[in-house]
Each structure stands twice: as C-alpha cells, then as structure tokens.
Amino acid sequence: MVRLLIYGYTTGVRSSRAIERRCVDDVAFGFLATDQAPDFRSITASAAAIPTRSSACSRSPTLALDLRQGVLVLSLVLRG
C-alpha cells in the first residue's frame, strides 16, 4: 500500500479516492496494487499509519515520510 501512496504523491494524485479510481483505470497503479482495487478507507488507514517526523520518537532508526505541502520527503530519523 505504501508504494501506491508514494507513486500517487509523486504523480500528483493525493486523494485516497482518486488513488482507488486509478487502481482500476491506470496500468501503473494497477500493477503496484497487484491488480486489486483497494478501498479508499484502507488507503487512508495506510497513510495514517506512516510515521511522520513529529511522531518518530523511538530509540531505533525510523524511516519517516513527510507529506506536507505536496512534497514527499523520505528521511531516516535517528532520535534517542
């Protein structure tokens, strides 16, 4: 599901409902979704489960996605 979110954000598709539609209509989204059409609620739940910079406060390294202002930033957070 994360690959759908990353591909969606990099191609300008930010809405979970739009990603759901693209999984049916677009070959690339369909490939990433393994020819399934996930429900927009599960896409939203997956997006909410991704840690952000503000919530990454563990002692172990964490991969954080920052999706503010339409920019996708992948960063390794080392806090302790």
Give 77 or 18, the one with higher predicted confidence. Answer: 18
Mean pLDDT, range 46-69, rounded to an integer: 60
pLDDT value, residue 37: 83
Please tell me whether residues 39 and 6 are part of one structural domain.
yes
Rg (CA), the chain: 14
Domain that holds residue 65: 50-80
Class of residue 56 by CB neighbours under 10 A (exposed 0-12, middle 13-18, buried 19+): middle
> Mean pLDDT over residues 59-71, rounded?
56
pLDDT above 70: residue 25? yes
8: buried, middle or exposed (CB in 10 Å: 19+, 13-18, 0-12)? buried
Query: Are residues 41 and 13 both part of a single domain?
Result: yes
Is there a single domain that holds both residue 40 and residue 54?
no
pTM summary value: 0.62
Distances (CA, A) of 15 to 21, 55, 59, 77, 80: 10, 22, 32, 26, 34
Total domains in the chain come to 2
What does the pLDDT average to over 24-35? 90
User: Is 64 found in the same domain as 44?
Assistant: no
Of 56 and 51, which is predicted with more confidence? 51
Residues 7, 33, single domain; the answer is yes
